Structure formats: C-alpha cells, structure tokens
Chain A
Amino acid sequence: MIRFDNVGMRYGSGDEVLRDVSFELLRGSFHFLTGRSGAGKSSLLKLMYLSERPSRGLISMMGVDIVTAKRKALPRLRRNIGVVFQDYRLLDHLSAYDNVALPLRIGGATRAEVRDYVEELLVWVGLKDRMKSLPSTLSGGEKQRVAIARAVINRPTVLLADEPTGNVDDEMAARLLRLFIELNRLGTTTVIATHDMGLVDSIEVPRLHLEAGKLVQLPPGIDPPNDLPNALRLPEAFPQAVGLARD
C-alpha cells in the first residue's frame, strides 16, 4: 500500500531531514510513527500525502510510483488519502460543517450524502452544537476534532494523522483513537504520528520510529533504545571556577 525505498528528503538546499528511509506498509495496517520533536515525523507524512517530493529514492502509494507519476494522476490519489495536519489547516471562512463536507464535495458526493455523513460524524466527535461555527470560534481541541472528521469523512484508503490528539484530553484522545481503529477495521491503512506515549502504549500496534531522520521499525510493545544520558552532569570544578565555593 505504501512503499519507501532508500528515500532521502531535504528542504531546499538544506541537510537531509530524512535519510535512507525504507519500509513497506501493507493494506489495512495500523502504525504509530514516533520520534522526538524534529526527528522528521511530519516530513515523512508530507512525503506520503504528496505535499513534498523526495530528493532521492522511490515512493509508491497504492501502487503508484509518485516520483514518476503524471501530475494529472495525483488528484485521484490524493482523494484517497485522508490527512490530519498537525496545525489542522481548516479553512477559516468555512463553518465546521462545510470544512468537514469539503472532501465529499470534491469527491462529487450528492447534497443528501453530504448532509447525512457530515452530521453523523460531527455528532460522533462531540461537535453537534458547533456545526455552524467558524474555526476562529472553536477551541484547539474542537478544531482538532473538525480536522479529524474532515480527514476520515470520505473513508480514505490511507489515513495519515500528525499529532491528532495533541490538544484533547485523555478521554477524547481515547475516543478519537477508537475512531481511527474503527476506520482501520473497515480497511483504511493508518499511520499516526505522535509523541504521546500514553496513546502509543494504549494499544498494541507496530511502530515506525524515527531517530534524527533515520527509520527503525519496531514490533508492538517494544520501546526504542534510549540514547539520551539519564542524568545531567555539571562539571565538578564549576562552582570553584566562578568563585562561588563556600568553605
């Protein structure tokens, strides 16, 4: 479903933020994408949702080689990829309802279909009373739920979520995770980037783990080796050196 072969990526002429990334995700699989802030999680997702292009290597999404694909072939591909952006990226001038309806309308759904699906989903994520609200009047958590609803509304083949539970309480996070799992049961290949270890530990799924742009795949329940020092040491000579010693 998703295949990376020796992919490297850089922004402009900067250093590579992803290096030698190779993996394959099977249809209907569910993965967490973990790694420290700055490790490259968002960048990896951007490659998968065709927002950025790799500087080297091969990427295949749903059997389409996106490096060589014709530009005309991409919209169809994109319509099958649901994305929850880290910064939501809602359309400010559209109501919560219209934001969620957008992928359906782009996909050519009828008015009746739009109404039924959008209302049901907004009720499900607890935004029954905020359907007509503009994003600017919504809290961070509410915006996040609108963004998630928008990403899953057309039941995409691939769902990519970037820190989708960063702004909601644990209870809502669990509810949203259930939404992702439901969708995954229906066949959606899912990748959720998160640094919320509570979320990662709450279900047993394999992980893609990024360390400074390099990827390791981990089976469920195994934590990556921690190479951070356990304690912060100050030079012993330090207090004397600045003349603060009191003896």
Chain B
Amino acid sequence: MLRQIRFLPSENIHGRLLPWVIAVMVFLAGLAMLIALGLQMTARTWHQGLAQSLTVQVINADKAARDREVAAALAELHKTPGIAAAAEETSDQVVALLEPWLGKGNVGPDLPIPALIDVKLADGPPVDVTALGAALAKVAPSARVDAHERWLADLLVLMRIVQWIGGVIVGLVGLATVAIIIFATRAGLATHRETVEIVHMMGAKDSTIAGAFQWRFLWVGVKGAIIGLAALAAGIGVVHVINQRLEGALLPQLLPPPEVLASLLVLPVVAGLLTMLTARFAVMRALADMN
C-alpha cells in the first residue's frame, strides 16, 4: 500500500473542481463545528459558574427594614449546611449590574434598589432551594431565593438543540463529500481507464493501482481543507474585528476559545483521510469488475 508506482499523468486526475468543493465542505463543517463546540464550552462555563451559586434578593423599599432583613437572612444562610459563603453585594456592585440597562449615571441614590446576597455553594450534596426559601421567609419575609438553575435549564436545552443541529450538519456535509469524491474518482478512473487497464494487464495488483490514486486524493483532500480553513479563519478574523469595534457589552463573546479553534485542525486530517479512503474504495470497486 505504501510502495508507489507512478503511472498516472502528473496533471490532476480528479478534475479541477474537487479541491474547491472540498474547501467549501470543510468551511461549512468547520463553521458548524465552531458553533456546536463553542456553545458547548459556553454552556459548561455557565453551568459550572451558576450552578455553584445562587442569589438572594431582598426587595423592600424601606432601607432600614431592608438592612435588618439582610442581616437576618445572612445569619440564616451562614448556619445552613452546604453553603460556603454568603455576602451582600455592595450598592456600587449592584449599580454596576444595572447600568448597562438603565444607562451610566441614571442609577441615583433615590432609586429603590433591592439588596442582593451572593451565595456560594459548597461542593457536595445540593442545597434544597425550596427548603432554604421557606427558612429565609421566616426570618426575612421579603427575601427571594433566585436559583439560576431554573432559567439556565431552558437555555441549556436550547443550546443542546443547536449543538445537535451542528452535529447533523457536520455529518451531512461529510456524506455529501463522500458522494462527491466517489463521483470524482469514477470520473478520474473513466478518463484513465486505458491506463488502468494496461497496468492491470501487466499484473499490477488492485492495491497498487488504488495506491496510485489514493495518495493523489489524500493530497487533494488536505489541500482543499487548508483552503477551506483559511477562508474560515479569515471569516472569524473579520467577525472578531467587527465585534471589537461595536464594544457591545451585551454581545456575546464571538471569538471561540483557543481549544475550539485548535480542534478545527483535525479537519484537514479528516478531509484528507476521507478523500483518500473513499478514492481507494471507489477504485477497488471499479477494478473488481475487470477480469
């Protein structure tokens, strides 16, 4: 399989279009992978960050009563097992949280803002959020436990769906690529049928003949994938630049994390191997029909 005999013409044997088709396929697969993997990583970060914390809001317009309730709630929280830490956010922190919505300087001292208690959960058995809520209600009637899990769950489902769609796209692109490579190999075989027949007649093994094709196709696959990846990289770069210009705090971080970007480097390998093995398979099939 490794020893090569050069008997095919040195110009391309697969048609001029194949590397470009593979480039487009790799671009699409890469994009789908980016979205799916990027979402998965984001979801995991959020999940880890938010599942280990909850927020207790104390909503009471009367500042004195509010402070009293906060103190009571903190005391209750500190003696609840499974809670690592609980601290009131300073009003500056709360203002900073509100500013993106209300505008800088619009959050005045006269605005009744709720007190927020940031609760860090300890590792170990999960805290019973409902029981905690009931316990808090006894000492601080206007306290409300905000477990992030609830709305996070919906978001996670959505993300998972998008991930699945990404995976399906990668799969479909892979299948379409295989079909295209089979067509290209068949066309290449048809064009060089006379050559293949003569070499076959001289006693070349099927695997030798397939070998001559497969190494060419390996290179085509790798070349196409590199073109596709380059286009994808250019696209990511453009999005990144635009994202930075907008300076939007609300825009999600669009540049995928480095480990996701690195995972794209499997695409040339996969595309090369896929192209090579498909070509080999197609040639072996065609040769099996010869005497």
Are both chains from one complex? yes
Q: Chain A interface (Cβ within 8 Å of chain B)?
A: 49-53, 71, 74-81, 83, 89, 91, 93-94, 98, 102-103, 105-108
Instruction: Specify which chain A residues have a CB less than 8 angstroms from the CB of B205 in the assembled complex.
Output: 75
- Given that A52-B291, A89-B194, A106-B5 are contacting pairs, would A77 and B203 also be in contact in the complex, using a CB cutoff of 8 Å? yes
A81 to chain B, nearest CB (A): 8
A126 to chain B, nearest CB (A): 23
Chain B residue with the shortest CB-CB distance to A49: B201
Flag if A75 contacts B204 (CB, 8 Å). Answer: yes
Asked if B10 is at the interface of the complex by the 8 Å CB criterion, the answer is yes
- Given that A51-B291, A93-B10, A102-B7 are contacting pairs, would A83 and B201 also be in contact in the complex, using a CB cutoff of 8 Å? yes
Q: How many contacts A-B (CB < 8 Å)? A: 51
A102 to B204, alpha carbons, bound, how many Å? 10
Flag if A106 contacts B202 (CB, 8 Å). Answer: yes
Asked if B241 is at the interface of the complex by the 8 Å CB criterion, the answer is no
Flag if B7 contacts A79 (CB, 8 Å). Answer: no
Consensus secondary structure, chain B interface: loop
Flag if B201 contacts A79 (CB, 8 Å). Answer: no
Flag if B199 contacts A102 (CB, 8 Å). Answer: yes
A76 to B3, alpha carbons, bound, how many Å? 17
A93 to chain B, nearest CB (A): 4
What are 16 A-to-B residue pairs whose CB atoms are below 8 Å?
A: A51-B291, A52-B291, A75-B206, A81-B203, A89-B194, A91-B7, A93-B8, A102-B7, A102-B199, A103-B202, A103-B203, A105-B5, A106-B199, A106-B203, A107-B203, A108-B3
Instruction: Specify which chain B residues have a CB less than 8 angstroms from the CB of A89 in the assembled complex.
Output: 194, 198
A126 to B212, alpha carbons, bound, how many Å? 32
A89 to B197, alpha carbons, bound, how many Å? 10
Other 7 A-B pairs with CB < 8 A, given A89-B198, A106-B203? A49-B201, A52-B291, A75-B206, A91-B195, A102-B5, A103-B202, A106-B5
A77 to B203, alpha carbons, bound, how many Å? 7
A225 to chain B, nearest CB (A): 35
Flag if B198 contacts A91 (CB, 8 Å). Answer: yes
A23 to chain B, nearest CB (A): 22
Asked if B142 is at the interface of the complex by the 8 Å CB criterion, the answer is no
Flag if A106 contacts B291 (CB, 8 Å). Answer: no
Flag if A53 contacts B9 (CB, 8 Å). Answer: no
Flag if B9 contacts A79 (CB, 8 Å). Answer: no
A118 to chain B, nearest CB (A): 14
- Given that A52-B291, A106-B5 are contacting pairs, would A79 and B10 also be in contact in the complex, using a CB cutoff of 8 Å? no
Q: Mark B4-22, 1 if CB is under 8 A from A, else 0.
A: 0111111000000000000
Q: Mark B166-196, 1 if CB is under 8 A from A, else 0.
A: 0000000000000000000000000000110
Instruction: Specify which chain A residues have a CB less than 8 angstroms from the CB of B9 in the assembled complex.
Output: 93
Asked if B42 is at the interface of the complex by the 8 Å CB criterion, the answer is no
Chain B residue with the shortest CB-CB distance to A90: B198
Tell me which of B195, B208, B291 contacts A50 (CB under 8 A). Answer: B291
Chain B residue with the shortest CB-CB distance to A79: B203
A57 to chain B, nearest CB (A): 16
Residue in B9, B194, B199, B203 with the greatest tally of chain A CB atoms within 10 Å: B203
Flag if A51 contacts B201 (CB, 8 Å). Answer: yes
Chain B residue with the shortest CB-CB distance to A151: B202
A223 to chain B, nearest CB (A): 33
A178 to chain B, nearest CB (A): 24
B159 to chain A, nearest CB (A): 53
A173 to B165, alpha carbons, bound, how many Å? 72
A93 to B7, alpha carbons, bound, how many Å? 8
